[in-house]
Amino acid sequence: MGALAGKTALVTGASRGIGRGIAERLGRDGARVAVHYGTNEKAAEETVAAIEAAGGSAFAIGVELGTPGDAERLWAEFDRHADGVDILVNNAGIGTARSFEEIGQEEYDRLFAVNAKAPFFVTRLGVDRLRDGGRVVNISSGLARTAVMPHLLAYSMTKAALDVLTRDLSKVLGPRGITVNSVAPGIIDTDNTAEFLHGTEDGQAQAAAISALGRVGTPADVADVVAFLASDDGRWVTGHWLDATGGSLT
């Protein structure tokens, strides 16, 4: 019996990268996991299969976020498989954006629609399904607190907005015993960062040098932090911004 046995979790953007790592870890801890994906159904099914192969339970739900009615469609799909949720992880997001000098209004609007608006309404419409004593974890970024990559200004702004949602929503949902926290990764080795980390001669070394621990993070590094917040061990932590950058901000 895992720490999350009997719980149901929804992880958005769980078909790959950090989201997949989180989904697999929550599944290993005993939660039944809703693996949300936007367009890559095959990758989501692979995540489900990996969870099941490890002895867990999961199902995939496909809804493209950042489009009109996205939150309503997501929960309608979820309701076909489960009758409530205990853990909501808002992980899905657009990981890059053009610089301040280059970004246009359409890209800016899309960025905020996926990274800030979707988590807000997925959470708002999910509140009635979220059981008392539940957990909301928002995946932020170390860039919300540092200007080390100013070319990602608009992206960083979306994560700062998500952090305000975390802070204030913790007060709104606190009376129900629901905790709300942000987890802020640094540079993580995923397909989003593959071009920089592996496509350049010294990308890996540059990224590792940013961390106080001297290496690049993995999805498991972030997933383990989320698992703590999702468990009973994290019951007294709420409204918190948790630095999971490997000391990149020190």
Catalytic residues: 140-141, 155, 159
- Give the strands of the sheet with 241-244, arranged side by side: 57-62, 32-37, 8-11, 85-90, 130-139, 179-185, 241-244
Q: Name residue 218's amino acid.
A: T
Tell me the C-alpha distance between 163 and 7, whole Å. 25
b/e map 82-115, b = 16+ CB within 10 Å: beebbbbbbbbbbbebbeeeebeeeeeeebbbbb
Whose tokens are 């299969």? That residue is 49
Torsion of CA 180, 10, 14, 232, to 10 degrees: 50
Q: Count CA atoms closer than 13 A to 23's CA, side-chain side.
A: 34
Q: Which residue has the tokens 């703590």?
A: 228
**Using H for helix, E for strand and C for coil, what is the string for 46-91?**
HHHHHHHHCCCEEEEEECCCCCCCHHHHHHHHHHCCCCCEEEEEEC
